[in-house]
Amino acid sequence: MDIAVPSETRPDLSPGAAMHAFMRELFPLCRSITGPGLRETIQRIAGRIPLQVHEVPSGTDVLDWTVPDEWTIRAARIESLDGRTLVDFRDSTLHVVGYSRPVDAVLPRAELARHVHTLPDKPDLIPYHTGYFANSWGFCVTHRLWESMTDDAYRVVIDSTLAPGSLTYGDLLVPGESTDEVLIHAHCCHPSLANDNLSGIAVATWLAQRVLAQGGLRRPRRLSYRFVFVPATIGAITWLARNEPTLDRIRHGLVLTCVGDPGGFHYKRSRRGDAVIDRAVAQVCRDRGISLDVRPFRPTGYDERQYGSPGFDLPVGCFMRSPDRGFPEYHTSADNLDLVRPEALEESYEVLGEVLDLLEADRVWRRVDGRGEPQLGRRGLYRLLSAQQGAACQESLLWVLNLADGTRSLLDMAEHSGLSFRELRDAAALAAEAGLIVETA
């Protein structure tokens, strides 16, 4: 596969096209929960945002787990006995089962069959399998190919190493005025699968760039932002173990996965169910008039399970387009760069950007003097001629002035009034400017 031209040399690209190009760069790398593919991927992300890259030695205890040995895959193929290569890892990283131990043997077909995975009902697709603790080996091939392999025996070669090394991950903290953190998480341990989860990696990277571009003296960021790029499960557990002292700063979090296909948006609530992040995602979709399929928390799925384990119970939801197992290409070779569309990535990026903006802008307001409505006219907040078809007083301004009693945030007000967050935020800015409301500490 070609090494794509890094998209930073092409400033004319829309964010969606640029993210897609970044995914194209990363697609051929054979990621796993450890190893050179993961390491290279983390480095490439670090080439775009100032990640701290961490290496955690195999054997390190992390909560109830232990960082495993590192897996390096150099080659893997199945040959016919007359030397033709029938299956080659260089054609697709999906061909070798993750964490396959080294093999160099001639095997009868029947024995080989015990190590070959196919999808009989999708005969042209290669499935995705891993065996992190299996201490075994395997290949994934199309069912069509497997059925055409009718020899009595084959030679299998897997040139891999499983040995003490380290697990790689990257994280980035963008500090704000407050130590309260928004966590954005993308898992990085899948080989050549685009939606799951190069799409999450790309969107998370672009959100980090967006956050870094905001802020500055003129408008400092209120919240801090933490971006975490880790292999799933063991990586999340490692990150949690190494950041325990500051986990209580995480006020809102999102696991990003499968955000690039053309399907509708799905959101899985945090374990708490009614955390601000759960409400914020729903509010933004309502405000944008896009449908959102909201599902309750379940302890299956992605790393929201680790953040939402009972000892942490962090307010972290999972944001997706088509959900895991909810699209037919899931965990097959059909989850490729054609499935993922630039415009779908871009929409995910924009929705999430608006969610972050909401979290930034959400405040609790209180009237300086809440007795009666204020006289808006003399403050230039009211058109002077009251007409029959409704006063020119913005309804949003009246809502803010009515609900600002020191107990309600703008998000509360949006949910209560049915107006959009943006309208209420703008009305609150107007009211604050006029000295009618102040922020509650």
**3-state class (DSSP) for residue 106:** strand
The amino acid occupying position 131 is: G
CA 156 to chain centre: 36
Task: With contacts defined by CB under 8 A, name the span among 15-23, 185-193, 240-248, 286-294 that binds a copy of itself.
Answer: 240-248
Q: How far is the CB of 349 from a copy of itself (least distance, A)?
A: 28
Q: How far is the CB of 302 from a copy of itself (least distance, A)?
A: 12
**Neighbouring residues of 285: CB distance < 8 A, sequence distance ≥ 6:** 265, 267, 291, 292, 351
Q: Are 131 and 138 in contact (CB under 8 A)?
A: yes
Task: With contacts defined by CB under 8 A, name the span among 4-12, 161-169, 204-212, 238-246 that binds a copy of itself.
Answer: 238-246
Taking alpha carbons only, the member of 246, 188, 220 closest to residue 51 is 188
Residue 397 main-chain phi, psi, to 5 deg: -65, -45
Q: Which of 134, 157, 173, 292 binds a copy of itself (CB under 8 A)?
A: 134
Instruction: Give whichever of 91 and 373 is closer to a copy of itself, judged by the CB atom.
Output: 373
**Using the rule CB under 8 A, is 103 a contact of a copy of itself?**
no
Instruction: Give whichever of 224 and 306 is closer to a copy of itself, judged by the CB atom.
Output: 306
**Using the rule CB under 8 A, is 66 a contact of a copy of itself?**
yes
Q: Which of 149, 157, 364, 398 binds a copy of itself (CB under 8 A)?
A: 398
**Using the rule CB under 8 A, is 310 a contact of a copy of itself?**
yes
Q: Which of 59, 65, 108, 123 binds a copy of itself (CB under 8 A)?
A: 65
**Using the rule CB under 8 A, is 428 a contact of a copy of itself?**
no
Q: Are 316 and 251 in contact (CB under 8 A)?
A: no
Q: Are 151 and 110 in contact (CB under 8 A)?
A: no
DSSP state of 30: -
**Using the rule CB under 8 A, is 139 a contact of a copy of itself?**
no
Q: Which of 60, 79, 102, 132 binds a copy of itself (CB under 8 A)?
A: 132
Longest pairwise C-alpha distance within the chain = 93
Q: Return d(Cα 45, Cα 90) in angstroms, integer.
A: 23
Q: Return d(Cα 360, Cα 210) in angstroms, integer.
A: 13
**Using the rule CB under 8 A, is 235 a contact of a copy of itself?**
no
Task: With contacts defined by CB under 8 A, name the span among 11-19, 24-32, 190-198, 379-387 that binds a copy of itself.
Answer: 379-387
**Using the rule CB under 8 A, is 120 a contact of a copy of itself?**
no
Q: Are 352 and 363 in contact (CB under 8 A)?
A: no
**3-state class (DSSP) for residue 163:** strand
Task: With contacts defined by CB under 8 A, name the span among 35-43, 147-155, 295-303, 345-353 that binds a copy of itself.
Answer: 295-303
Query: Euclidean distance between the first and final Cα of the chain, in Å?
Result: 55
Q: Return d(Cα 105, Cα 87) in angstroms, integer.
A: 15
**Touching a copy of itself, residues 40-59 (CB under 8 A):** none
**Using the rule CB under 8 A, is 372 a contact of a copy of itself?**
yes
Q: How far is the CB of 353 from a copy of itself (least distance, A)?
A: 30
**Using the rule CB under 8 A, is 401 a contact of a copy of itself?**
yes
Taking alpha carbons only, the member of 363, 358, 361, 362 closest to residue 439 is 363
Which spans of this chain sit near a copy of itself (rule: CB under 8 A)?
63-66, 119, 127-134, 136, 233, 236-237, 240-241, 244, 271, 298-300, 305-306, 308-313, 325, 331-332, 366-367, 369-375, 377, 384-388, 390-391, 395, 398-399, 401-405, 417
